[in-house]
Amino acid sequence: MSSIVEETDLQEPAAKKIKLEGSPKGEVNPDSKVEEIIQPRGESDVGITEYISSHAGFSGILKYRFSDFIVHEIDTEGNVVHLTTLECPQEEVPEIESSSGVLSEEVMSQLGALKKGSKETVSIDVTDLDKAARKAIHQAIRQNYSHLMSDTREEEGRKVIVAQPQGNPKGQRSQWPPTRGNYLHFILYKENLDTMDAIAKIAGHIRMNPSSFSYAGTKDRRAKTTQWVAVYRLKAETLAKLNHKLRNMTTGNYTYKPAPLKFGDSLGNRFTLVLRDVRAPREELVSAVEVLKTLGFINYYGMQRFGNADVPTHKIGLALITQQWEEVVKLILQPRSSTSDMFEKALRIWSETRDAEKAWDVLPVKSCIEGHLLRGLKSSNGKDYVKALGFIARNTRLMYLHSYQSYVWNRVTSRRIKELGLKPVVGDLWQPDKEDPRTVTEEDIAQGKVTIHQIVLPLPGHSVTYPQHPELMTWYQEILAQDGLTLTSFDTNAVKTYALCGTYRNIVTLPSNVEWDLVPYDDPALPLFPSDLDLLNNLPQPERPEQAKHKALTIQFSLGTGSYATMALRELLKMDTSHAALKESSVKIHQ
């Protein structure tokens, strides 16, 4: 049996039954909708059931250490993003000129002597100047003395411009030079942290709202990852000074640009993965990797898409779509097995008493999804669920909705692969290059115009075209009907925030630039591949003994936006990536 094991999976407890409101003696209420889904989930529960290659697979251990999973973002120009410097950019200081006659030498000298934080002022007599000339003086002060502010006043019958240091010593936004881009772009290198958690920690240190930061996409938690982040009007020096305070993350490669990042502003990710304790002959590895390079893998949404908690995120998404607002709140605040004691206490207080204020008070971390929701419930006395859900970040609420779309897509794709095979059929949708999808015709197939790698299926929504193949349409209808939905359920919604337009996704995808190697090693605690931070700090390269107890497969490949490396490995190793399956694995690690 092919297996894949994570170090943390061997330490975490299995999901346990919990007491729900109205359940006697701590037993589970059999009528509860919530309890039905608080069980260990397998891949089949989220529609992941098929493989497309025929090789047998082999055993390997992924993420024995988080250093075995390295992710580099690929920017919109196709460059693999690397952390290469911690230095701040050297900005050109504009030369102050008086040749225009806007500011005299004497006035410039006086302005230059004004220090940040002082209460001194400089007055410039502008009684005889018109509005345009006064405006030019204000502009000259802003451009050449970014720490000063100016305003026009009446003093003793004369009109003067008064310049003085900014009143707010922390007001770096109002001091922003007009020649500098409004957004600081920087590379975030992190280890064993979620992207959102990392940004929340940075924002907390500098007392900014995390919503001021933007990025192209989230990266894996249990990994070493590198990506671009942008923030509005933050000085590079301010961020660079945090590097000695931040744990498990580093920022660098600072640059100023005129625009922020948008979600999706990347071409994908470059993965460097280490599979330890591989026990397959080299010829089997060569064959398996070659199949992955030429055939690819089913482009499933991986288990990460559906959350790590006991309550799958797609169930929350379904409750949002069907406008079961109270059910959504119950699911998000449901006590669960994988939390700390204090966190569990807060969730249990809410479950048993519906006292949002008391539950919020004991919650150890307030800046989390549960904390935001409890704060919203506090503000509405626990009655207005729609308003309370609005306290959760919009991206998070959308994540629940997208999770349900992904669940439906996985299920339809599995049936498409299983029952219609790996060749295009009439009625499929295909997407040549980046054009809009169109229906596959007999002529397309006869002329060999379309391949399986161009076939797409829609995520359900109000703006997509569904395949014309009758069986595919039937499968969408059947799967949605099981959840009480139809193809038109996404057209309107009482709360517009939760309407879904839908999109398209290739059913099979190919990794690009695949490279691999077989690496001998003895100590499983030592990394086998250097990270960006290792290279930046000139740490020695990992040793490769000629004779070793173990061997690891190191594999590198690039995937487009939204594709999951774990699904590529699933096809390579022929293994189950669900959390429950990993914990039940009988593989022994490095005995």
What b-and-e string marks burial along 398-427, b requiring 16 or more CB atoms within 10 Å of the CB?
bbbbbbbbbbbbbbbbbbbbeebebebbeb
Q: Could you give the residue ranges of the DSSP H alpha helices within 393-464?
A: 394-420, 442-446
Q: CB within 8 A of 503, min separation 6: which ones?
A: 458, 459, 461, 464
3-state SS of 130-188 is CHHHHHHHHHHHHHHCCCEEEEEEEECCEEEEEEEECCCCCCCCCCCCCCCCCEEEEEE
CA angle 132, 137, 142 (to 5 degrees): 125
User: What is the spatial distance between Cα 566 and Cα 280, in angstroms, rounded to a whole number?
Assistant: 20
| Phi, psi for 393 (deg, rounded to 5) | -55, 140
Given the structure tokens 């939760």, which residue do they identify? 498
End-to-end CA distance of the chain: 19
Tokens of 315: 């169930």
120 conformational bin, left if phi > 0, alpha if psi -120 to 50, beta if neither: beta
Tokens of 211: 């919503």
The answer to whether 220 is a known catalytic residue is yes
Cβ atoms within 10 Å, residue 546: 5
Tokens of 55: 């090789």
User: What is the spatial distance between Cα 280 and Cα 262, in angstroms, rounded to a whole number?
Assistant: 43
Given the structure tokens 């943390």, which residue do they identify? 8
User: What is the spatial distance between Cα 378 and Cα 370, in angstroms, rounded to a whole number?
Assistant: 12
The gap from C-alpha 113 to its chain's centroid, in whole angstroms, comes to: 47
Q: Of these residues, 68, 220, 310, 576, which one is catalytic?
A: 220
Residue 129, SS3 per DSSP: coil
Nearest Cα neighbor of 226 from 186, 262, 264 is: 186
Residue 544, SS3 per DSSP: coil
User: What is the spatial distance between Cα 318 and Cα 132, in angstroms, rounded to a whole number?
Assistant: 60
User: What is the spatial distance between Cα 408 and Cα 402, in angstroms, rounded to a whole number?
Assistant: 10
Q: Which active-site residues does the annotation give?
A: 220
